Amino acid sequence: MIATVKAHAKLTVTLAVTGVRADGYHLIDAEMVTLDLADTLSIDADAESTSLTATGAYSAGMPLDDSNMTSKALRLCNRHAAVHLDKVIPHGGGLGGGSADAAAILRWAGYTDLIAAANLGADIPFCMVGGRARVQGIGEIITPLPFVARSFTLVIPPLSCSTPLVYRAWDDLGGPTGDGPNDLESAALVVEPQLVRWRDRIREAVGKPPTLAGSGATWFVDAHNADLAAALPDAHVVFASTVA
C-alpha cells in the first residue's frame, strides 16, 4: 500500500543566533511557523529497497541518492521504502524543503526522537512538530506557541544559499546580531551578494524592506501582495498562509 503524506514548508519569522557550541553547532532562538506550501511524498513501504524519484517545479538538480535528506531520514528510523517526491518547496530557499521531507518520513514511521532528528538537520524537529513554536538549542528544543493566522508573500529568486556557508560567514563576520529580525541576513548577503539586488527591488515595490527566510535565499513580506508578482516577473512569487 502506498501512503501519501504532506511535507509542509516552514518559515522562520525571527532568528537570533545566541552562541556556538564547542562542537561548532550554532545555538538559535527563533520563531517558526508552518505554511500551507507543501511537498507531497508517496511512500511505498512494500518496496524491497530504498529508492527516490522526484517531479515538480523544484525537482531539477535535486540529488536522489543517499545524500538526500529523505534517504537519511529512512536510515535514521531504520526503514526502507520507495519514495516519490512532488517538489513544490524550493531547495536552498530557506523554507526547510529537505527538512520538511525528512520530517514527513519520520512522522510516517512514528519516530519521535527530536534530538536525533536535530543532529540530522536543525529544522527537522520543528517540521516534525509543526504549527507555531519557539525553537531553541540547535533546533531540538521546541516550545509550541498559540496559533496565529498570518499570510505572507514569498519572493523566491533564482538563487540558492548554502546554510553551512552562511553560518561560516556569520562566524567570519564576528557574530553580528543584525538590525532586523534575522541575525543571519548580513552573512547571507556575503555568501550570495545578488540577494542585495532582490532585497532592494522588493523594498522599492512594497515600500518597506523584506525579511530573509532563515539562511536565504527567499525574501518575504507580510500579507498577500499581488503587486510583487507584477513587479518581479523573473522571480517565483508565492502567496502562503500559516497552518496549525
Q: Domain end: 101, 116, 144, which one?
A: 144
Q: Are 91 and 56 in contact (CB under 8 A)?
A: no
Residue 231 belongs to domain with CATH number: 3.30.70.890
Indicate if 140 and 23 belong to the same structural domain: yes
pLDDT tens digits, residue range 71-95?
999 999 999 999 999 999 987 788 9
- Give the per-residue pLDDT at 1: 81
Indicate if 127 and 186 belong to the same structural domain: no
- Give the per-residue pLDDT at 71: 96
Indicate if 162 and 115 belong to the same structural domain: no
Indicate if 113 and 131 belong to the same structural domain: yes
- Give the per-residue pLDDT at 217: 92
Task: State the average pLDDT over residues 88-106.
Answer: 91
Task: State the average pLDDT over residues 33-48.
Answer: 96
Q: Is 134 exposed, middle or buried (0-12, 13-18, 19+ CB in 10 A)?
A: middle
- Give the per-residue pLDDT at 91: 78
Instruction: Give the DSSP H or E segment for 116.
Output: helix 114-120
What's the total number of domains in the chain? Answer: 2
Mention every residue, 6+ apart, whose C-beta is less than 8 A from residue 168.
none
The catalytic residues are 10, 123
- Give the per-residue pLDDT at 92: 74
Cell of residue 79, nine digits? 526503514
Indicate if 27 and 104 belong to the same structural domain: yes
Q: Return mean pLDDT, the chain.
A: 94
Indicate if 184 and 109 belong to the same structural domain: no
Indicate if 135 and 46 belong to the same structural domain: yes
Indicate if 86 and 109 belong to the same structural domain: yes
Task: State the average pLDDT over residues 54-68.
Answer: 90
pTM tops 0.75, yes or no: yes
Domain, as residue range, for 159: 151-241
Indicate if 156 and 140 belong to the same structural domain: no
- Give the per-residue pLDDT at 90: 81
Residues of the chain above pLDDT 90, percent: 84
